[in-house]
Amino acid sequence: MASLKDQICVVGIGETPFRRPKEPDGTNLTIQLQAIEAAIADAGLKNKDIDCILPIEGLAHAEEIAVNLGIDDLRFQATVRIAAAAPGSHIMTAGMAIHAGICNYAVIPVGWYGYSGNIRVRKVMKDNPLVFSGGPTARDYYYPHGINVPPQWFSFMARYHMEKYGTTREQLGAVAVAFRKHAQLNPHALMHDKPLTMEDYLSGRMISDPYNLYDCSLECDGAGALVVTTVERALDLKQKPIYLMGFGQGQPYPADDLSNRADILEMGVTHAAPRAFEMAGITHKDIDFAQIYDAFSFQVIEQIEEMGFCKRGEGGPFVEGGRIELGGELPVNTHGGLMSEGHVMGMNHIIEAVRQLRGDAGDHQVKDAEIGMSTGFGDFMDGSVVILRR
Amino acid sequence: MSEETSEEYGKPLPLMEGTAGEFYEHCKNHELRFQRCTGCGTWRHVPRNMCAQCGSWEWEWAKSSGRGELLTWTVVTFPMQPSFAEEVPYAVTIIELEEGPRIVSRIVDVEPQDLRMGMPVEVIFDAVTPEVTLPRFKHSGK
């Protein structure tokens, strides 16, 4: 079967401001519509050109997005039930649908009032476990013991890695500090003008040991959207097209129970990354930057290892010494990531990747960036990986 | 080990239906039982319909020795679930039983800072309400 490599382009990106106000000033739908409008305008298209919508689960329906935009002939819509791995999975799904001739221009929105609205992750996941695939397992076998929210679940893996491989708090801190440095160069970031030293990091309020406040991402109000189409159409549009070289989706096994995996460090990207690299026909050395889903600091180290940038157990030393900072060997989360720019479920990672490859990243530009990647992470570590090039 | 009503207890409880209900009924009888495939003998947790090893739909509730070891843990310091506020800091653990299945639980008699990977533990039973008994663990040979 013909490969989808270099057949699909990202042609439009749009974002709202990322904020943490006391009260919401719109709905999960309106904030996504704002990002969608921006992405369509960025592409130089009209609302009615869009004929495919891939909304993330639970935050808005394709129907209500379509009716607001006046899309009266929606050819295709789909939602992959993979939580915040959806941005990458939805690029993959859009690519397949477009390449098959089912539709022409897909819009992929993500956004929420994740801070001021009544949908903070910490609240939704404990109050309504059925919203995610591992929910019944968590409700019946985790929650009764007082482990009810993501920073608690994913610190299990951090502790395991620290005990087994000697990974240190300072190495987790190197992740937090690197992303915060990048946020100082990005006025869009929630933590712009709020620098963080290692000393600050180490004195952070403990949340679920080994995770303290600075190991955790920033719930925020914000939205982002992409427009995706064929190369042929992309070449006629306003922006320099960014090519989808490779993608992959994957899940750890079993996906709905994080305690009974034969290998407790297994993640979705463990499976997704090799598929994406194979499709792209490149190796790790070809990657100029990686936007890695950073719900929590250790999961960045874990993904770096699982995707093969270093061996199992070497991720701690890998992130030290500025290697993942701008100017380092593998700049990671050049926008500040979920930990310092804002938690928009990784859509901001893909948007930053596109911005970098267009050469539009301003003060946080990776010099001469040609190929970059972005990862997604949802539920109990489901994963998606996209590799893009200019 | 108090015996409050679920309402007084105020903390999350399992949904006592289907296989989860059966699992916790065994706990109430002070037995830690997991599903074991009667086709190939593979133990499993959490409960499933089919054996992932051999595809069999046949299984039994097999009694575990209750002995295992500590695989990993987290120490909850900031209670995101308000009903656990007065318990912080507390450690939640993943225990690997000698039969193979792993279970999320707590070790009741070890301070968080004294937890070590591989620490031997054995099951005890904590009747948190008249209806629900949770399996917890204590340090073996202590």
Nearest CA to A244 out of A72, A371, A78, A54 is that of A371
Q: How confident is the model at residue B1 (pLDDT cuts 50, 70, 90)?
A: very low
* Confidence at B28, pLDDT banded by 50, 70, 90: very high
CATH number assigned to the domain comprising residue A138: 3.40.47.10
Minimal Cα distance from A157: which residue of B? B72
- Which residue among B11, B78, B87 places its CB closest to the CB of A144? B11
Look at B76 and A152 and tell me if their CB atoms are within 8 Å. yes
- Could you list the residue range(s) of the whole structural domain that residue A81 is in? 8-389
Low-confidence ranges of chain A (pLDDT < 50): none
User: Which structural domain range is residue B126 located in?
Assistant: 6-139
B1 occurs within a structural domain = no
Contact A224, A335 (CB under 8 A): no
pLDDT digits (tens, 9 = 90+) for B71-98: 999 999 998 888 999 999 999 999 999 9
CA dist., res. A354 & res. A331, Å (int): 15
Neighbours of A140 (CB within 10 A): 24
Structure-token match 């000033």, residue found:
A25
What is the predicted pLDDT for the residue at A132? 80
Residue A1 resides in a domain: no
Q: What pLDDT sits at residue A118?
A: 77
Q: Where are the beta strands (DSSP E) in B47-119?
A: 59-63, 67-76, 90-97, 102-105
Would you say residue A284 lies in a domain? yes
User: Is B14 close to A206, i.e. CB distance below 8 A?
Assistant: no
DSSP assignment of B34-61: EEEETTT--EESS--SS-TTT----EEE
The pLDDT confidence band at residue B142, using thresholds 50, 70 and 90, is: low
Task: Report the residue of chain A nearest B86, measured CA to CA.
Answer: A146
Q: Is residue A2 part of a domain?
A: no
Kindly give, in sequence order, each residue whose CB lies less than 8 Å from that of residue B29, ignoring residues fewer than 6 positions away. none
Let me know if residue B110 belongs to a domain: yes
Say which of B13, B23, B72 has its CB closest to residue A160: B72
**B103 neighbourhood in chain A, CB within 8 Å:** 141, 259
Q: How many domains does chain B have?
A: 1
Number of separate domains in chain A: 1
Rounded to whole angstroms, how far apart are CA atoms A344 and B83? 29
Predicted complex ipTM: 0.96
Q: Is residue B44 part of a domain?
A: yes
> How far away is chain A from the Cα of B16, in angstroms, using its nearest Cα?
8
Tell me what pLDDT residue A168 has. Answer: 98
Query: In Å, how far is A39's CA from the nearest CA of chain B?
Result: 36
Nearest CB to B81 within list A126, A207, A209: A126
Phi, then psi, of A14 in degrees rounded to 5: -150, 145
Question: pLDDT of A286-343, one tens digit each?
Answer: 999 999 999 999 999 999 999 999 999 999 999 999 999 999 999 999 999 999 999 9
Quick check: is A249 in a domain? yes
DSSP designation for A23: S
Hey, are the CB atoms on B117 and A164 less than 8 Å from each other? yes
